[in-house]
């Protein structure tokens, strides 16, 4: 093993073990932290496994040769479970162990080697004579699980992103941008490792370069997320997303028994009678009426100032089902709930800044319904293509 690679594995092992201890036994432990801590531990053990036979001599750890080789077959499961529990801190379940089936399959395929004598295993790794059928199958499983779980993680993140935009008005959109970036980086890492593995031995220098690049990136990738998670245990957590989606399903079940408020001048059965489609969709006239009521309440009662406002809560206030409210916003106004509410908040802030550019922006943000500075900055930039400070500076120069 080249000296640079040895240093790299030592650094990865030390960081992995340290971060695993901090994440698993730290004072603010979440399920996402535990999953990431386990990932760091497996990373460290994978790197440490190469030092068991590095000197080519039998030692007290020689019986463990090979057990760490297949640990990367669990990285895909760790990625998927982390994405799932980082956004919603739900309990870990025993059946979640099934996600680690690729690792178990690799162990079963190579059980003869794993349970061979230390001398046989040492000779096998010291005098490498090429891959066996089982090692080739293990490599296929290794890369297959990586890309399959990247795909599953992408579907999961997309599902949560849609739920958040549909049901919530107060979350930082940057959370999903970071998660997509992490998935892209993980895809690059596994692509480098796969390219290195299939390259011909005649291009050994390039092959080694790709492998080392993948190792460096995976250390940066896992340890970087781990450090950020340790500093902020709720790094990617989105409050209310589960409650909002659950409440929405309940409201959809009961939608035909809900009645609209007196201000609308109709009830749910009347809405259904006015529908022009068999699937329960509202006709254009009804959608226009409901949209006018929603806009009036948002303006007159300033419902957007509620930093806990969700699609469910707004639907109850207006007196319609969440299904019909979502339909009205999407089809009649062309917006999801997230954008609909936050446009009111941003417009409120912009109006107040035009009246008095010296007012404190953070106070306006909290007053308008934003729950944090980071969420406000991200949403304001998303809707105006300017930071709040840039917007105020522009007002001062034009006034």
- Domain ranges across the chain: 3-231, 241-398
367-391 average pLDDT score = 90
Cβ atoms of 15 and 219 within 8 Å: the answer is: yes
Q: Which residue has the tokens 């896992």?
A: 222
* 89 SS3 class: coil
Q: Which strand (E) or helix (H) includes residue 13?
A: helix 3-25
Residue 270 has pLDDT above 50, yes or no: no
324's tokens: 């019909």
In angstroms, the Cα distances linking 42 to 14, 71, 100, 108, 212 are 12, 6, 12, 18, 18
306's tokens: 């509620």
Residue 65 has pLDDT above 60, yes or no: yes
14-18 average pLDDT score = 93
Q: Which residue has the tokens 């001048």?
A: 265
* 310 SS3 class: strand
- Output the pTM of the full model: 0.81
Q: Which of 382, 318, 315 has its CA nearest to residue 345?
A: 382
* Separation CA 49–CA 46 (nearest Å): 5
CA angle (54 as vertex; 52, 60 as ends), nearest 5: 30
Residue 7 has pLDDT above 60, yes or no: yes
Region of poorest pLDDT, from 22-36, 139-153, 249-263, 286-300: 249-263
Phi/psi for 310 (5° steps) reads -125, 170
* Separation CA 324–CA 280 (nearest Å): 9
Rg (CA), the chain: 27
Query: Given this structure, which CATH class describes domain 3-231?
Result: mainly alpha
Residue 48 has pLDDT above 50, yes or no: yes
Residue 6 has pLDDT above 50, yes or no: yes
Residue 110 has pLDDT above 80, yes or no: yes
* 240 SS3 class: coil
Instruction: Report the interhelical angle of 361-368 vs 388-398 (nearest 10°).
Output: 120
Domain 241-398 sits in CATH 1.10.10.60: yes
234-251 average pLDDT score = 59
pLDDT of residue 167: 87
């Amino acid at each position: 093993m080249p000296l640079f690679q040895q240093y790299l594995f030592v650094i990865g092992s030390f960081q992995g073990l340290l971060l695993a201890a901090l994440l698993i036994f730290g004072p603010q432990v979440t399920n996402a932290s535990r999953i990431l801590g386990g990932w760091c531990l497996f990373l460290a053990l994978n790197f440490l496994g190469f030092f068991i036979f590095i000197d080519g001599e039998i030692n007290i750890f020689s019986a463990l040769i090979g057990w760490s080789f297949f640990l990367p077959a669990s990285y895909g499961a760790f990625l998927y479970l982390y994405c799932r529990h980082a956004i919603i801190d739900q309990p870990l379940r025993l059946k979640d162990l099934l996600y680690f089936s690729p690792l178990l399959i690799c162990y079963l395929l190579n059980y003869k080697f794993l349970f061979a004598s230390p001398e046989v295993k040492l000779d096998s790794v010291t005098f490498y004579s090429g891959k066996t059928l089982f090692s080739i199958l293990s490599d296929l499983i290794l890369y297959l699980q990586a890309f399959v779980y990247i795909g599953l993680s992408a579907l999961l993140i997309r599902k949560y992103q849609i739920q958040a935009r549909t049901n919530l008005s107060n979350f930082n959109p940057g959370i999903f941008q970071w998660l997509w970036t992490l998935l892209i980086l993980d895809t690059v890492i596994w692509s480098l490792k796969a390219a290195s593995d299939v390259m011909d031995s005649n291009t050994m220098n390039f092959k080694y370069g790709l492998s080392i690049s993948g190792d460096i990136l995976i250390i940066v990738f896992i340890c970087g997320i781990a450090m950020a998670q340790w500093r902020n245990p709720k790094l990617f957590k989105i409050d209310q997303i589960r409650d909002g989606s659950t409440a929405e399903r309940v409201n959809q079940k009961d939608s035909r028994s809900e009645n609209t408020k007196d201000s609308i001048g109709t009830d749910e059965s009347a809405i259904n009678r006015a529908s022009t489609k068999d699937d329960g969709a509202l006709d254009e006239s009804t959608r226009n009426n409901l949209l006018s009521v929603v806009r009036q309440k948002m303006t007159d009662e300033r419902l957007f100032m509620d930093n806990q406002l969700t699609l469910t809560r707004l639907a109850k206030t207006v007196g319609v089902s969440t299904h019909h409210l979502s339909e009205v916003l999407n089809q009649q106004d062309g917006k999801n709930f997230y954008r609909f509410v936050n446009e009111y908040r941003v417009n409120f802030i912009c109006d107040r800044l035009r009246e008095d550019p010296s007012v404190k922006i953070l106070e306006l943000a909290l007053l308008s319904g934003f729950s944090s500075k980071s969420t406000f900055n991200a949403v304001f930039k998303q809707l105006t293509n300017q930071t709040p400070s840039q917007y105020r500076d522009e007002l001062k120069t034009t006034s």
